[in-house]
A and B are shown apart, each in its own frame.
Chain A
Amino acid sequence: MSDIRADFSGPSVAEAGFGDYIALLKPRVMSLVVFTALVGLLVAPGSLHPIEALAAIIFIALGGGASGALNMWWDADIDRVMKRTANRPIPAGRVAPDEAMALGVALSGFAVIMLWLATNALAGALLAFTIFFYAVIYTMWLKRATPQNIVIGGAAGAFPPMIGWVAVTGSVSIEAALMFMLIFMWTPPHFWALALFMKSDYHKARVPMLTVTHGRKATRAHILVYTVALVPFALLAGVTSIGGPVYLALAVGLNLLFLMGAVSIWRRSEAAAQEDGYRAEKRFFRFSLIYLFAHFMAFLLEAALARLPAYAEFAASFSLLGGA
């Protein structure tokens, strides 16, 4: 008796593994979505059943992932050209473009309907709008049309805490809007700092990045302008129901440091930056990550401290806006 052997001695067949489908959903972006949506959900007044909260976070993340798949489907031609993205599942030939599109559309509809059923219609509608905004407005339309693409794309990343908030409360309030603005205004300086020191090949893909279209000096000025514009939103959140003395103290320190970093980037010449290997730009980029994370952690901390009656009474005197 002999074994029947399937002989596949030819070249390796490009067929997607489970991990390729996960990669289509951009898991690293998803982790930021999960974190900010979770904070929005936890700091909102009222509460969800833990299972409802878990479902809400899963479906918000899935919606974000679905828009990532649609982004990869549409941008496969760009991804093929750029070194950083050439190994993504579609340009690498592991997933067919149509398959990625189908996955993106199906998961989008699924995530929106499930979020609606698990929480409320407004949360579902906001998730649908976020997917539409990222996949259509940003990816298909503005990304290749304007060097302000980062600014516009930032809006899609800014929606998750608002959706988390709406999942609990059923309505949008000033607190949700300020969490949105915090991420929205933070995104441009964060990415433009990266663009200054990362030699990317966006020009090869003909994507208009500010560093290429307007030059590095203009990018440095843009970083400063957006950082200055970001500060009021970060501080205003401190005088709403999600803020408080601890948040305010932290926000003042963080924003001062962030502003100082932006000013130092603005004042530097390209020659000086090249000389020290973009030290200030790299430091500013790393700090921008801490900046956003610390603000959202401070919201969480305020929500936890508010459970102590004595602190809640003290913190209420800081709450000048909203009061949801």
Chain B
Amino acid sequence: MAIAREHELHKRRSGRNIGLAVVLVGFIALVFGLTIAKVQSGATLQAYDHSYRPALDPDHPRFQQR
């Protein structure tokens, strides 16, 4: 048994759903791209990572200018 889609209303709903899907996929791609861009531009950033690293402390004699 097949359900025949007759009404123009179904077309509108389907258009809306497809439109929204395209927008959402585009948004995901954009946020992904932004994440990559932000991480790349912050590539030289370093953190202490659980333990103190004198090389990252500007007040420490072993501080290394990057």
Contacts and interface: CB of A to CB of B under 8 A. Distances in A.
B14 to A, nearest CB: 10
Nearest to B26: A58
A15 B13 contact: yes
A49 B30 CA distance: 13
Interface of A: 1-8, 12-13, 15-19, 21, 49-52, 54-55, 58, 117-118
A21 B20 CA distance: 10
A15 B34 contact: no
Contacts of A16: 12, 16
Contacts of B40: 49
A15 B12 contact: yes
B1 A49 contact: no
Nearest to B19: A18
19 contacts: A3-B1, A3-B2, A3-B3, A4-B4, A6-B3, A6-B6, A6-B7, A17-B12, A18-B19, A19-B15, A51-B34, A51-B37, A52-B34, A52-B38, A54-B30, A54-B33, A55-B30, A55-B34, A117-B34
A6 B36 contact: no
Contacts of A21: 16, 19
What bracket does the count of chain B residues touching chain A fall in?
20 to 34
Contact of A6 (B1, B4, B12): B4
Nearest to B8: A12
B19 A6 contact: no
Nearest to B5: A6
A17 B12 CA distance: 5
Contact of A4 (B2, B9, B30, B34): B2
Given A49-B37, A52-B37, A18 B4 contact: no
Given A16-B12, A18-B20, A51-B30, 6 more contacts: A3-B3, A6-B4, A19-B15, A51-B36, A52-B37, A55-B33
Nearest to A2: B1
A2 B6 CA distance: 15
A5 B5 CA distance: 7
B41 interface: yes
A112 B31 CA distance: 15
A117 B36 CA distance: 14
A36 B7 CA distance: 42
Contacts of A1: 1
